[in-house]
Amino acid sequence: MDSPQILLVNPPIYDFTAYDFWLRPYGMLRVAGRMRHAARLTLFDYLTSDRRDPWGRGKFSSSIVAKPVQFRDIPRYFRRFGRPRVEFRRMLGEKRFDAVLVQTMMSYWYPGVSEVIDDLRALQPAAKVVLGGVYATLCPSHAARLGADLVVEGSNLEPLWRLLSITPRDALPFWQPPLGDVGVLKLTDGCPFRCTYCSVPIVAPEFEGRPTDLCLEELRQLIRLGARHVAFYDDALLFRSEQILVPFLQGVIGAKLPVCFHTPNALNARFITPEIARLMLQAGFSSFFLGLESNAYAWQRATGGKVYSEEFSTAVRNLKAAGAPSLAAYIIVGHPDSNAQELESSIRFAHEAGTRILLAEFSPIPGTADGERCREWADLEEPLAHNKTAFTIRRLGTERINQLKALTRDLNRLA
């Protein structure tokens, strides 16, 4: 019997903003790695960017589209980000597939998923369609209404293997088609912390490290395929570092692997010791994004106590002493307790500590403690209501947001 033809799709994005911040469908590629012995795989990635900066980030092609009625009060253009739809439809007309795996990310990006399913049903109605990822896990009932044959929730892949009649193999590097100069990697799954605004405990409730040898082989594979920049997708990269991160860094250093590492997911500053900072720089880390979120102690404690201000300042000093070339701190805006965050003070604190500031708009994620508190302001049963831009504008107002952005720009110019 011939191996099944399986198509992997990373859908387009419908949103007010989107940027290629080392964005790759890593979860789907890891699943593909477990079936590559038994299937013929094809990837169609809508989210490719042509104009990239020296670190491999870039802008997606986009076009203005009609806003959903849920956003009629939002004074922003609404866009479709990604390759033209006609390219996908053309491919579907040229090659037949037995099954299609569709990656999902932000819950409010589901219109792009819906577009993909509509084209599959129109042009390849016999193909089995499977959704997996963040949206599929957070909003499974809503996702099921889009018309897929299977919605995979979380990391339980047994229904997928049954649908495809495939016996998966473990301990394989993830499947990776030819790529440009950017790759992604994870040393861990899950997060041991329970921040009240974060969906990771829902999507991946158990924290565990991945085998060091496997992670090093995945990195070598990325480098063989041309990657010069590798972004870590870990949610707790520094936790249990002596057992997980340190052996990996020592392997990279010992093999003299030629790569620049980046950390778009917020690093927990609590664990950045002088030794960890030195090893990260020696291994090739080029950018550090730290999760501060707020400088207000009461807010920090109420939202989980992930990191406190003195720990943040100490981490910045350790990184600077090790020679870190680029430090940035995330500050949440639009949180339901924005007043308690002391936003201006938090922004100035991050600047005075020696980092650039990145404002991260809050998304009210159902199932999280902070998201559930937002039901009085948003219908969370409709995933478009989770949109971070729209929610933040409604909570703070355009004038307030512009003030915070102006302060951030002014301070970043001085950094």
The span from the CA of 354 to the CA of 337, in Å, is 26
Q: How far is CA 148 from CA 10, 86, 131, 137, in A?
A: 15, 21, 7, 14
Tokens for 272?
Answer: 């950045």
Q: What is the mean pLDDT of residues 199-210?
A: 94
CB 203 within 8 A of CB 222: no
Give the pLDDT score at 179: 72
Q: What is the mean pLDDT of residues 51-76?
A: 94
List residues bridging with 350 in a β-sheet: none
Given a cut of 80, is residue 64 above it in pLDDT?
yes
Give the pLDDT score at 340: 94
pLDDT 10s digits, 291-336: 999 999 999 999 999 999 999 999 999 999 999 998 999 999 999 9
**DSSP codes of every residue in 92-126:** HHH---SEEEEEE-SGGGHHHHHHHHHHHHHH-TT
Given a cut of 70, is residue 1 above it in pLDDT?
no
- What mean pLDDT is reported for the chain? 96
DSSP tally for the chain: helices H, then strands E? 17, 18
The span from the CA of 329 to the CA of 357, in Å, is 5
The span from the CA of 332 to the CA of 396, in Å, is 12
Q: What is the pTM of this model?
A: 0.95
CA 284-286-292 angle, 5° bins: 125
Q: Which pLDDT band holds residue 403 (cuts at 50, 70, 90)?
A: very high
Q: What percentage of the chain has pLDDT greater than the value 70?
A: 99
Count of Cβ atoms closer than 10 Å to residue 178 Cβ: 7
Tokens for 105?
Answer: 């990310």
Measured over the CA atoms of residue 114, residue 116, residue 119 and residue 121, the dihedral's sign is negative
CB 210 within 8 A of CB 236: no
CA 370-371-372 angle, 5° bins: 90
Least confident piece of the model among 14-28, 75-89, 165-179, 224-238: 165-179
Given a cut of 70, is residue 244 above it in pLDDT?
yes
Give the pLDDT score at 175: 86
The amino acid occupying position 316 is V
Strands 49-52 and 58-60: antiparallel
pLDDT 10s digits, 166-196: 999 986 778 888 778 999 999 999 999 999 9
Which 3-state string (H, E, C) describes 341-381? HCHHHHHHHHHHHCCEEEEEECCCCCCCHHHHHHHHCCCCC
Torsion angle of C-alpha atoms 236, 309, 403, 370, degrees rounded to 10: 50
List residues bridging with 230 in a β-sheet: 183, 261
The span from the CA of 343 to the CA of 347, in Å, is 6
Q: What is the mean pLDDT of residues 142-156?
A: 96
Q: What percentage of the chain has pLDDT greater than the value 90?
A: 94
Q: Which pLDDT band holds residue 276 (cuts at 50, 70, 90)?
A: very high
Domains, the chain, in order of start with CATH, read 5-164 (3.40.50.2300), 182-414 (3.20.20.70)
The amino acid occupying position 199 is S
